[in-house]
Amino acid sequence: MSSAIAVLLMAVITISSMVIIAKVAHLAAAHRWFFSRTVRGRGVELMVLGVSVFVVTYTVGFGEGWLGGPKLRNACSDVPGYTEDSERAFPLAHDCYLSDGTVIELVPVWVNPMLFIALAGFATGVLIAARGQYNRWVTGRSAR
């Protein structure tokens, strides 16, 4: 069962990475931000891009802070004065607490802001797609 979940997660991460690569390649080749020419399609594109960036960023942050291997997992316990560590799934955090009050964060500093930017992109895509759909209902045609 766990190997099936791992395969599924790898497929999701691979597809998300491919979406990001395709978007960057499209921007470089066509000098246009969106594939779609309709407002609704642009909103859907932004939602897919937001989810893709979120998945890839979360995976990188999770891997760095939580699954960093024995070297990173033991980074806290090898420090003199280590007392405890704590982990959070969202926003991502893996904190090591030392006896002198120092806190060491193992998740890279850019991960959580990027997660919130990706969520904001998704929410903006929802609003843009809803606006495009509303315009289509009101006017009977797709707004450009």
Q: pLDDT tens, 51-60?
A: 999 999 998 8
Extract the runs of DSSP E, i.e. beta strands, from the chain.
Answer: 82-88, 93-98, 103-105
Q: Residue 22 — pLDDT band, cuts 50, 70, 90?
A: confident
| Residues 144, 129: Cα–Cα separation, whole Å | 12
Is pTM beyond 0.85 here?
Answer: no
- Measured between alpha carbons, how far apart are the two ends of the chain, in Å? 47
Say if residue 50 is exposed, middle or buried (CB neighbours under 10 Å; 0-12, 13-18, 19+).
Answer: buried
Q: Per residue in 68-88, pLDDT tens?
A: 555 565 667 777 777 777 788
